[in-house]
Amino acid sequence: MTETSRPSPLLIIGLGNPGRGYRRNRHNIGFQVLDALAESVDARFTRMQANALVTDARLEGICVILAKPQTFMNNAGQSVGSLARFFRLPPEQILAVYDDLDLPLGALRLRPGGGTGGHRGLGSIVDHLGLDDFPRLRFGIGRPPGAMDPADYVLQDFGRADEELVSSNVERAVACIRSFALEGIQAAMTRFNAASE
């Protein structure tokens, strides 16, 4: 899809939990990716809409709305559903960015739709939109060590040894979102899913 053929706007949702205590958690990688994307276009999350921190930006001519739901992860769909209805967006114009336990640390997977994989934030979006055929970008955080409860693992900060890998792949996720917006999902999948194999 070319820049001139894409309907506007594009809603990009980062999933995470609000509050400083959660900021660097594995579960908040969606927020971290959106913060990096906003910074790259000199945008700031200065307004609250539909219980989400929201900012408008442009990616080389494409109008995008960046949103970080402040409802806590498991109820993120409340914000997403409200925003989708307010902007009258078709599902293909909504991209959710979130953590995935089943992918190696830093791996990216862009898909046009699919199941939730047990991710409650994504499940909430599916419930509130009433469909699951919207694009999603999964960011791998790896499996918890030993017998650690996954619920505890996702609420821990990334380890010091992981910081460089996480940072470089946050930048790759930003580049993937740019490719999705400007070139379409197939081109972005080809470039960024293959690079994560």
Of 175, 181, 182, nearest to 193 by C-alpha is 175
Of 99, 190, 186, nearest to 135 by C-alpha is 186
> Is 99 in a helix, a strand, or coil?
strand
Of 61, 33, 27, 54, nearest to 171 by C-alpha is 33
Contacts of 158 (CB under 8 A, 6+ apart): 24, 26, 141, 166
- Dist CA 176 CA 171 (whole Å): 9
- Dist CA 172 CA 138 (whole Å): 12
The reply to whether 128 belongs to the active site is no
Cβ atoms within 10 Å, residue 123: 17
Kindly name the residue from 27, 68, 109, 128 that is annotated as catalytic: 27
List active site positions. 27
